Amino acid sequence: MKKILMSMVALFAAVTMNAQVYVGGGVGFQKKGDAQTFTIAPEVGMSLDEKFGVGLQFGYTNVKDTYTQCAVNPYLRYQALEIGKAKVFVDGGAYFNTKKLEGADKSSNAFGLNVAPGVAFNLTDHISIVAKANNLFVLDFSKEAGDDDTRTIVGLNTLNNFSAGDLMFGFYYNF
């Protein structure tokens, strides 16, 4: 048991020696007619090497007088391009969310796979500003709130129905 524990500690130390940890997140806001959508998404991640990283994003969305939603999104990040202080990346991962409709007793749950491209610009060695197309491509499996049956909805969000509300802007603090 001691050997296994020491091996795990050594492996973790080796992986994190070159790792750069970041914390931060983003916010999004959209107003379409009377509908106002506000999203906040704190995030923590770790660069494994020059190209790959892993992270975890939490999310809270409120659509005024319609619903609230909480989400968890673990992801794998691939840095596709670096030009000076700018880095272009793609996050691919899984997500789980739960949505509660205003005035309803029931909630709905969804899980799926998503791809979210983005760009980070390093202002300093420790601070970056980030823009990310949240869930540009998503394969969604969900149960509608209020339904008594267990039907599953599968959807694909693409550029055809992408809107400004799907953009997230934020910052990272790099340790």
Q: Does 8 map to a domain? A: no
Q: Does 61 map to a domain? A: yes
Is residue 19 within 8 A of residue 48, CB to CB? The reply is yes
Distance between CA atoms of residues 100 and 113, nearest Å = 21
Structural domain total, the chain:
1
Q: Does 49 map to a domain? A: yes
Q: Does 10 map to a domain? A: no
User: What does the pLDDT read at residue 175?
Assistant: 87
pLDDT band at 151 (very low <50, low <70, confident <90, very high): very low
Total-model pTM: 0.76
User: What does the pLDDT read at residue 99?
Assistant: 87
User: What does the pLDDT read at residue 119?
Assistant: 95
Burial (CB count <10 Å: 0-12, 13-18, 19+), residue 13: exposed
Q: Does 122 map to a domain? A: yes
User: What does the pLDDT read at residue 88?
Assistant: 97
Q: Within a 13 Å sphere around the CA of 92, how many CA atoms are in the beta-carbon half?
A: 5
Q: Does 9 map to a domain? A: no
User: What does the pLDDT read at residue 20?
Assistant: 86
User: What does the pLDDT read at residue 86?
Assistant: 96
User: What tokens appear for 103 in the block?
Assistant: 């005035």
What CATH number does residue 123 fall under?
A: 2.40.160.20
Contacts by 54-60 with C-beta closer than 8 Å and gap 24+?
55/22, 55/91, 57/25, 59/97
Nearest to 151 by CA among 113, 114, 110, 100: 110
Could you report the per-residue pLDDT of 56-104, keeping only the tens digit for each? Answer: 999 999 988 888 999 999 999 999 999 999 999 999 999 888 888 888 8
Q: Does 113 map to a domain? A: yes
Q: Does 85 map to a domain? A: yes
Mean of the per-residue pLDDT values of the chain: 80
| Structural domain that includes position 66 | 20-174
